[in-house]
A = this chain, B = another copy of it.
């Protein structure tokens, strides 16, 4: 898949999210980058601030969950597969306050997991995959997410 195709998929993903998920609109979410292995979502601080003036934990959780969901959505669209994707068990760590823009970067937990996932999905109509996601902070991550996502063929 070419860089142009990936950019087009990413643009369509952003339009889909903003059209169908009102909270993503409220967060002013944007798809920042997709290279086939990683998906980066961004959001400005102002609509995602908490009462202490730093990023609201719920906004970081939402952005990371959408980054993981979007990463799998894009991988499936790249293979022309139509699925409903649901987030499953998630482990969130909040490591340090974030005082600026939110940037969440998602990748699959294992580099070769997508092949197995696609084979299982094709055989059983349902499959599960693990995603790692982090919100970039100052010197280290501000928050991280480990989450399972389940795809079901429509």
Contact = CB atoms under 8 A, between A and B. Distances in A.
Interface in A7-55: 16-17, 20-24, 26-27, 46-52
Contacts of A48: 22-23
A89 B57 CA distance: 11
A23 B23 contact: yes
A88 B84 contact: no
Interface residues of A, number: 37
B22 A26 contact: yes
Nearest to A150: B94
Contacts of A27: 23, 26
A48 B20 CA distance: 10
Contact of A62 (B51, B59, B86): B59
A49 B17 CA distance: 11
Which 4 A/B pairs are nearest by Cβ-Cβ distance? A58-B62, A26-B26, A20-B51, A90-B92
Interface of A: 16-17, 20-24, 26-27, 46-52, 56-59, 61-63, 65-66, 69, 84, 86-94, 97
19 contacts: A20-B51, A21-B49, A21-B51, A22-B26, A22-B46, A22-B47, A23-B23, A23-B48, A23-B59, A23-B62, A57-B62, A57-B87, A58-B61, A61-B61, A86-B97, A87-B94, A88-B93, A88-B94, A92-B92
